Structure 1
Amino acid sequence: MIKYEIGSGVLSLAILQEIIQSGKSIVLAAEATARIIKCRNYLDEKLRQTEAPIYGINTGFGYLQNVKVEADKLTQLQHNLLLSHACGTGQEVPKPIVKLMLLLKIQSLSYGHSAVALETVHRLIDFYNQNILPVVYTQGSLGASGDLAPLAHLSIPLIGEGEVWYKEEKIQTSQLYQQLGWQALTLQSKEGLALINGTQFMSAYGVYVLLQSKRLLDWADAIAATAIDAFDCRIDPFLSLSHLIRPHQGQLQTAENVRNWLDGSELIAQTGKQTQDPYSFRCVPQVHGASKDSVAYIQSVFETEINAVTDNPNVFPDEDLIISAGNFHGQPLALTLDFLCMALAEIGSISERRTFQLISGSRGLPPFLVKQAGLNSGLMITQYTAASIASENKQLCTPASVDSIVSSNGQEDHVSMGANAATKCLRVVQNVERILAIELITATQALELRRPLKSSPKIENLWKDFRTVVSFNEADRLLATDIERSVAFIKANQV
């Protein structure tokens, strides 16, 4: 299998998706290897030439910046750093996100401004390629000074500590090393700091959620088009002329998508329709489109971040400079992760409204989309569930990025809280998937109640495929199973 040469060029969301989907291994590019060696050699020589304090290299950390550490204790300093900072708690970070954290940390180190040893980067690559995934916890990062606690948990297996997932089993790192015949690494000066400073926890969550978001935005258009036809809506709001005079890219794209989904439908071509449709149908291009434009902007921020050096201090061998700055601060990510929460929540919000309209007993459809309503409650409570989830998303949209709590005895006095923004953003995208799954159930149910008229060939094919996992609801049954199957259907298929 062809390996991806990390450090050879710019990572994009598309490249990351291709690496993930193909299961590609990675290898360090020759130019990245040279940069890493050059930077490490520079720092070693610098430390031989001077005893001046250099933050985090021969001093303590944070508030302890003025505490000088003797040269013979610099290795112990880095070892202690990883152990002391691995104080995460809460749920475990999902394994696909941990694997992204590894990949993004390797990419950041590959630029040769972090002064890590080549052996350390190679061990991280071994972890990635052999699917050795450190156990990392969701809680503990303030989103500044880097994602300290999560990245410490990502890194402690390098020194033989902590736990990892290997071959679907959670084991102690010491046990893993025995199995593989490996030795724990002895970190050199600055290495621990380079490993735990950085934004790879926030970045990995953002990349993962963005990839899920782009998939769900496609599904949102497809499901909305199905609901539009099932609710006997007009085609007028999707004709290009109105969108060309308000030419937001996402709006134009969504209107075109809906037209393509409805092309050839007998239902949409019917005459004698109502003059206007509710906003949740009529304004799909404007609402879905705004979220798409937001996602495009957020993607640009993350693509800058994942191709950046975000640890501290930064080492510049050519300029003979070691600069202590603040690239670890997650503010760009915190703001955009909050924004992404809102953009995604609106997709769920408008979807729930379409579900509400479909089960309302209007436009020739039976109440709650079931025969013998009264004896049967039909899809009544699916809307309750969608409403509950949509409301939870609104609560999760409270911004994390406007919050800050002073840490490190006042030295780190403004933090981004981007890590909290990241973890709640994942919850939002998972919630949106469930809301769309419920709308798909209601839209296909309503569509079938319009027989013998048919929708477009594309929508009929979607209906046919969906019916292999969720059957028509003839009478009351356990709907939790239908929702679970609908979610699985969306996960397993692209539109």
Structure 2
Amino acid sequence: MKKILVDGDNLSIEDVVMVSRYKRKAELPKEVINKLDESRRFVEDIIRRGKPVYGVNTGVGELCNTRIEKDKLNELQKNIIYSHAILTPPYLSRESTRGTMLLRANSLAKGYSGIRKEILERLIFFLNNDVIPIIPEKGSLGASGDLIPLAALALFLMGEGRGFYKGKEMESKAIHKKLDIEPIKYEEKEALSMINGTSFSLSISILSLYDAKVALKGAIIASGLSAEALLSLSSEFHEKIQEAKPYPEQEVIAYALRNFLDGSELIDSNLNKVQDAYVIRCLPQIYGSIYSTLRYAERIYTIEANSSSDNPLLFPDEDLVLSGGNFHGSFIAAADDYLSISMTILGNNSERRLNRLLNPNLSQNLPPFLIKNSGLNSGFMLLQYLSASLVSENKILSTPASINSIPVSADQEDDVSMSATSARKLRQIVDNVLTIIAIEILSATQALYFRKKKKGRGTKKALTILKDTIPFIKKDTNLSPYIEKTRKLLVSETLIKEVEKEIGEIF
């Protein structure tokens, strides 16, 4: 299988997911090694000249004006890691840690950091050999970079701390010994370059974005199933309506739903119905806005993934060393918060359709709570309780973190992004939404067992997959296994891919 190139310029969202989640191999191209060598020679030249450069021969943070003696420069690098690496639980997931390693390597591969090629080679070697450091999930302010978690990563490369090797937790020094490699000894500027960046926040954000796309595609399938079960109308998806409000994302959603419902005898079958409720009638507008948010976040994360987020930056050709703020996670934080709000809207929309499926006053003559002999049986009643609790939790989690700056380092770092907090909240929201959508899919499948007319193309294909997992529920039983199985079909993209074979790519 083709390796993912770590060249600093061309890493995609899918590349990050492939390496992080599916353990695709990565590779450092030769041209990157040449850039790294040139940048490192520039650092060594700066040291010979004695020019003051932040983090090379000065302290860090508020201590930036403190000069460090030449014979203490490597000790400074080691001390930066020791002072910044605060390892307290909970710890980051292994896939997000892999993403952090890849993104850190890609940022450094741009050649603006003065770091030796051996450090990037070590990061990639660990990725390719399933070595995963244990790094903390909390502690980053998203400026000056994700300092605490990235320092824990850097500490691991020094042979300290703990990690996993092929799934087994071990001390870092034991892993190094097992692989017959020497730990890294950081030289001038290298420790600072390892920790000054947004790679931690970005890794969580990218993996969440990928799953948010899955959630939206799953919600389109879920809404199509529910639309059939609720004997909905087709007029709201008509292309003329979309042309009158020409958002491209709105048309994409309407087109997908037209294809999904094509051929249905349930749609438009209630001749007394004039309009559907908003949770179905406004799907192109609501989901179109969510799709627009996904596209925005993808643009932001892709740029960030292929950026140098270090400070200071080196420009050897111009003999320049420039201090700036590329470590600041503001772009990530704002995109995370925006996406969190959209995902919360998505979950809310799904739960409201679930309500219509379960409520006998709204369900177009489906049995109460989708079960025969209701009263004796409670049916799917408590699925709404679970869904409602997750929706409510998401509303709390979607309060923006990016507005909550707290000054640190004696007010030298006085406006921080909180991108890591935004990213962690986004992760929780997306996980909740995937469960909410799985509940709707499960419930709509049960509802469609009661509808005997011909189903639409997408519905028919989805039910072929779902009915292998979800039987008709005749009486009360433990629904937990069915929720988990449905969620697995969704998250694995099995259901999405099979439906897309029938109706074309959703988006």
Shorter-chain TM-score category? over 0.9
* C-alpha contact 1:238 1:256 (8 A) present in aligned 2: yes
Q: CA RMSD in A?
A: 1.4
Q: Which amino acid aligns with 2:208?
A: V
Q: CA deviation at 1:178?
A: 1.4
Q: How far apart in 1 are the matches of 2:193 and 2:169?
A: 26
Q: CA deviation at 1:12?
A: 2.2
Determine helix, strand or coil for the equivalent of 2:188.
Answer: coil
Range moving further from structure 2, 417-426 or 442-451: 442-451
Q: How far apart in 2 are the matches of 1:19 and 1:102?
A: 10
Partner of 1:7: 7
Q: How far apart in 1 are the matches of 2:398 and 2:66?
A: 41
1:18–1:96 CA distance, 2 compared to 1 (3 A): closer
Q: Which amino acid aligns with 1:104?
A: L
Range moving further from structure 2, 346-355 or 178-187: 178-187
Determine helix, strand or coil for the equivalent of 2:137.
Answer: strand
Q: CA deviation at 1:214?
A: 1.3
Q: Which amino acid aligns with 1:28?
A: L
* C-alpha contact 1:8 1:29 (8 A) present in aligned 2: no
* C-alpha contact 1:230 1:450 (8 A) present in aligned 2: yes
Determine helix, strand or coil for the equivalent of 1:37.
Answer: helix
Partner of 1:467: 467
Q: How far apart in 1 are the matches of 2:12 and 2:479?
A: 40
Q: How far apart in 2 are the matches of 1:117 and 1:232?
A: 64
The unaligned stretches of length 5 or more in structure 1 are none
Q: CA deviation at 1:457?
A: 3.4
% identity of equivalent residues: 36
Instruction: Report matched runs for 1:341-352 at 5 Å.
Output: 341-352=340-351
1:9–1:66 CA distance, 2 compared to 1 (3 A): closer
Partner of 2:446: 445
Instruction: Report matched runs for 1:75-90 at 5 Å.
Output: 75-90=74-89
Deviations 1:387-444 (A, max 9, x none): 1100100000110000111111211111111110000100000000000011011111
Q: CA deviation at 1:166?
A: 1.0
Q: Which amino acid aligns with 1:311?
A: D
* C-alpha contact 1:312 1:327 (8 A) present in aligned 2: yes
The unaligned stretches of length 5 or more in structure 2 are 497-507
Q: CA deviation at 1:343?
A: 1.0
1:19–1:179 CA distance, 2 compared to 1 (3 A): closer
Partner of 1:36: 36
Partner of 1:390: 391
Partner of 2:109: 110
1:287–1:10 CA distance, 2 compared to 1 (3 A): same
Q: How far apart in 2 are the matches of 1:371 and 1:258?
A: 30
Q: How far apart in 2 are the matches of 1:403 and 1:43?
A: 36
Partner of 1:160: 159
Determine helix, strand or coil for the equivalent of 2:321.
Answer: strand
Deviations 1:80-111 (A, max 9, x none): 11121111433221111111111111111111
Determine helix, strand or coil for the equivalent of 1:410.
Answer: coil
Query: TM-score, normalization: structure 2?
Result: 0.95
* C-alpha contact 1:330 1:416 (8 A) present in aligned 2: yes
Q: Is the counterpart of residue 490 in structure 1 residue 462 in structure 2? A: no
Q: CA deviation at 1:20?
A: 5.6
Partner of 2:319: 320
1:68–1:8 CA distance, 2 compared to 1 (3 A): closer
Q: CA deviation at 1:26?
A: 1.6
Q: How far apart in 1 are the matches of 2:9 and 2:418?
A: 30
Q: Which amino acid aligns with 1:211?
A: Y
Determine helix, strand or coil for the equivalent of 1:183.
Answer: coil
Deviations 1:324-378 (A, max 9, x none): 1111011111111000101111111100000001100131111111100111111
Q: How far apart in 1 are the matches of 2:8 and 2:75?
A: 33
Q: How far apart in 2 are the matches of 1:374 and 1:35?
A: 72
Determine helix, strand or coil for the equivalent of 1:215.
Answer: helix
Determine helix, strand or coil for the equivalent of 1:82.
Answer: helix
Determine helix, strand or coil for the equivalent of 1:322.
Answer: strand
